[in-house]
A and B are shown apart, each in its own frame.
Chain A
Amino acid sequence: MWLAGLIAVAMLLSACTGGSGGGDDDVIKIGVLLPLTGDLGFLGEPMSKAAELAVDLVNENGGILGKQVKAVVADSRTVNEGAREGAEYLINVEGVKAIVGDAGSGNSFAALAVAKPANVVMVSPASTSPDFTTFDDGGYFFRTAPSDSLQGAVMAGLAYNEGCREAGTVALNNEYGEGFKNVFIETFQRLGGSVVADILYNPEGTSFTSEVNQLAAANPKCVLLVAYPETGSTILREAYQQGTLDVSTWLLSEGMQSNELADLVGKDSSGKYIIEGIRGTQPKSVGVGYEAFAAAYEKKYGERSSGPFDAHTFDAALLIMYAIQRAGANDGAAIRDNIQAVAAGPGELVSDIGTALQMLRDGKDINWDGASGNVDLDDVGDVLSDYEVWQVGADGNVSILYDVAPPQ
């Protein structure tokens, strides 16, 4: 409360001093609202880089509406207050009409509460809660990350096909965790399995021993863990300490996919990573434009794109800019009405930024085939995607194993 107030004042002050400098009419600003600190900071940093890369590449290809584009980045700190404050700052101070973000589903809901009444479009590259599909967003919310309604089902199919009939779920008590595990439970039971433990945990807790004991008591053959690395790693470590990790097969949500995870959980006394070999699923993040994106990212930043949502962020930023070009104006409602047209419209399939911009300038329709996939958005703003299985290797790094489809 005190703190939030102080930060808000500080942000306003810095915004005032920063914003008065240049002639803002010459550029089109788009907002980037992502968690640069907090639980999801490790995801948000490369994502914001991917968004800035998209803006740079569009500028190199002549910009949109004859103007250069500027990305304004705000840190949502992986908390709902941060997302709301960030959205208010981007919309009220910077005057953006479209925002790339947020990442966490709860954070996106918080930002959407600000963006929707202000008629500002949000394209989230990472919010995967099924709740967005049915939420009345006034048409202002889109996402290039696929809904968990599919991933929960993919997980359930994977577990069932490997012979697991008694599953336990441990999920973060928020929109992401609850939405994800509900779909998992529904699908798993429909396939014929039973769910013996259904545990939601609060990330603010100081110990997860009782949750892990509760899980162990139910003796599941496989366990679905929907979490982020900070608290998820603690749960895995306690599960190892109590012996639960060895007796059941654990599957992790894409929120846990990180090269840091193995180090956070730790090594055993023989120096082997405890979670070596553990698997998880994630939306497939490789489209026809991926190679070009990855090369451009490495060229600009001198390192490889590592996050599971970098390509989705890249595409989200591009869709916004294409929609502005197609609409002919930087206006929230106009952007909203043109996003689906450039993402899944009747036009020609394009995966080159220069070509796409030139075609839009010539008044032709495009159907963007992006870095993260075909980015075909449906009528409620959801993207259709394929899934893949990843695994933690002996060196603690994550590698992709194979593709997996949702069960029939």
Chain B
Amino acid sequence: MTAVGLTLVYSILRITNFAHGDLVTLGAYVALVFNLNYGWGPRVGIPLAFVAGAVVAVALEFLVWRHMRRMRAGPVALIVASIGLALFMRNFLVFNLGAQYTAYRVPVQRAEPLFGLPAQLTPDQKFIVLVAIGLVIALHVLLKYTTVGKAMRAMSDNLDLAWTSGVNVDRIIVWTWALAGGLAAVGGVMYGMTRPVYPELGWHLLLPMFAAIILGGIGNAYGAIVGGMLIGIAQELSVMFFPAEYKMAVGFIVMILFLFLRPRGLFGEAEFS
């Protein structure tokens, strides 16, 4: 889910955004603050986090990225800027909310069998799955049927062509950031519903996110979703065959094997140049 924003930003803006993980962290903390202060559950926190993530991502567009683009910053400068932003955001959270681990103060739920299958999920996990499916459908509708979505896809195919065709590039970029930031923040809340929340949370998620988008084909939103699911499922199922300590390695081996067979990723399109 969080990987979608990363791949959108990459394909439309050509930014490898290392600060993306910290937008995830931000989302988790927004829900946490409301949870600790007002006792609101993380489910309520999801829309709040979406708004907060979108607002912060758009603010950064106006404060940082727009200027970088005007100055025609190269890819390395953009990466360095994103790492700087990542450090800033993380330490801003540490400074204001502390570096310790914490968790949402909600009752822990028991897992229940799902449709009589041995797979067991807690109500919260089912809720996460449903929200994720809902967001994927919404994203599909947005990209496929709305003007904004079509413009986004046009820009990711060919920025100059889209621009000359009359696409309002700056406006679409703002939409892209809002979507990427919002989805990242929602992903953060979902993550926090199953694990402790801490400032490096999103940073630690960056590697699997990059793996998911590379597997799915860089720049393809659907690829990021499928790639993320493939890696996750491969990791969990591998425990049946290998010791659990190799779980992480299995995810990456799957990625490497896939890229051998299909170097441009699952849904990636061949590069024309």
Q: Which of A218-252 contact B (CB under 8 A)?
A: 229-230, 233-234, 237, 240-243
* Contact bitstring B179-201, A, C-beta under 8 A = 1, else 0: 00000000000010011101010
Question: A211 → chain B, closest Cβ, in Å?
Answer: 5
Does A145 have its Cβ within 8 Å of any Cβ on chain B?
A: no
Least CB distance from B4 to A in Å reads 16
Contact of A241 among B110, B232, B237 (CB under 8 A): B110
**Residues from chain B with Cβ under 8 Å of A199 in the complex:** 243-244
- Contact check: which of A206, A234, A243, A265 meets B205 at CB < 8 Å? A206
Q: Does B248 contact A (CB under 8 A)?
A: yes
Give chain B nearest CB distance to A324 CB in angstroms. Answer: 33
Task: Enumerate chain B residues within 8 angstroms of A202, measured Cβ to Cβ.
Answer: 244-245, 247-248
Shortest Cβ distance from residue A172 to the other chain B in the assembled complex, whole angstroms: 10
Interface contact B111-A214, CB-CB below 8 Å: no
Q: Are B235 and A205 in contact (CB under 8 A)?
A: yes
Shortest Cβ distance from B200 into chain A, in angstroms? 7
Report A198-221 residues with CB < 8 Å from chain B CB.
199-202, 204-207, 209-211, 213-214
Of the residues B99, B200, B247, contact of A210 by C-beta under 8 Å: B247
Q: In the bound complex, do residue B100 and residue A205 qualify as a contact, i.e. CB atoms below 8 Å apart?
A: no
- In the complex where A206-B208, A237-B108, A269-B107 touch, is A200 in contact with B244 (Cβ < 8 A)? yes
Identify A2's interface contact among B83, B102, B195, B236, CB under 8 A: B83
Closest A residue to B84 using CB positions: A6
Kindly state the separation between the CA atoms of A265 and B122 in the bound complex, as whole angstroms. 15
- A170 to B, closest residue via Cβ: B244
In the complex where A204-B204, A211-B244, A241-B110 touch, is A234 in contact with B120 (Cβ < 8 A)? Answer: no
Residue B109, interface by CB 8 Å = yes
Q: How many residues of B contact A (CB 8 A)?
A: 40
A268 within 8 A of B: yes
Contacts of A211 on B, CB cut-off 8 Å?
239, 244
A286 at the interface (CB under 8 A from B): no
Distance between Cα atoms of A274 and B110 in the complex (Å): 11
Q: How far is the CB of B206 from chain A (nearest CB, A)?
A: 11
Interfacial chain A residues near B105, Cβ < 8 Å: 263, 266-267
Task: Say whether B163 faces chain A, with CB atoms less than 8 Å apart.
Answer: no
| B230 on interface, CB distance cutoff 8 Å | no
A28–chain B nearest beta-carbon distance, Å? 31
Task: Give the size category of A's interface with B.
Answer: 35 or more
**Which residues of B have CB within 8 Å of A240?**
108, 110
Identify which of A34-42, A64-72, A101-109, A136-144 touches chain B: A34-42
Contact with B along A261-277 (1 / 0, CB 8 A): 00111111101001000
Who on chain B is nearest to A199 by CB?
Answer: B244
A60 at the interface (CB under 8 A from B): no
Tell me if A352 counts as interface (CB < 8 A to partner B). Answer: no
- Contacts A210-B236, A268-B108 given; does A233 touch B243 at CB 8 Å: no
Q: Which residue of B lies closest to A232 (CB)?
A: B196
Pair A269/B109 contact, Cβ less than 8 Å: yes
Q: How far is the CA of A332 from the CA of B176 in the complex (A)?
A: 58
Q: In the complex, what residue of chain A is closest to B205 when comparing beta carbons? A: A206
B197 vs chain A, min Cβ distance (A) = 10
Q: Which of B218-244 contact A (CB under 8 A)?
A: 232, 235-237, 239-240, 243-244
Contacts of A237 in B (CB 8 A): 108
**CA A242 – CA B80 in complex, angstroms?**
43
Instruction: Report the Cα distance A216→B191, complex, angstroms.
Output: 24
Cβ of B235: which chain A residues have Cβ within 8 Å of it?
205, 210
Contact check, A42 vs B107: say whether CB atoms are below 8 A apart. Answer: no
A214 and B107 within 8 A (CB): no
User: B94 to chain A: which residues have CB within 8 Å?
Assistant: 37
Chain B residue contacts of A269, Cβ below 8 A = 107, 109
User: In the assembly, what is the distance between CA of A368 and CA of B108, in Å?
Assistant: 48
A-B contacts, 25 listed (Cβ < 8 Å): A2-B18, A2-B79, A2-B80, A3-B87, A6-B83, A37-B99, A199-B244, A200-B245, A201-B245, A202-B244, A202-B247, A207-B232, A210-B239, A211-B239, A213-B239, A214-B239, A214-B244, A229-B101, A234-B196, A237-B108, A241-B108, A241-B110, A241-B111, A265-B108, A268-B107
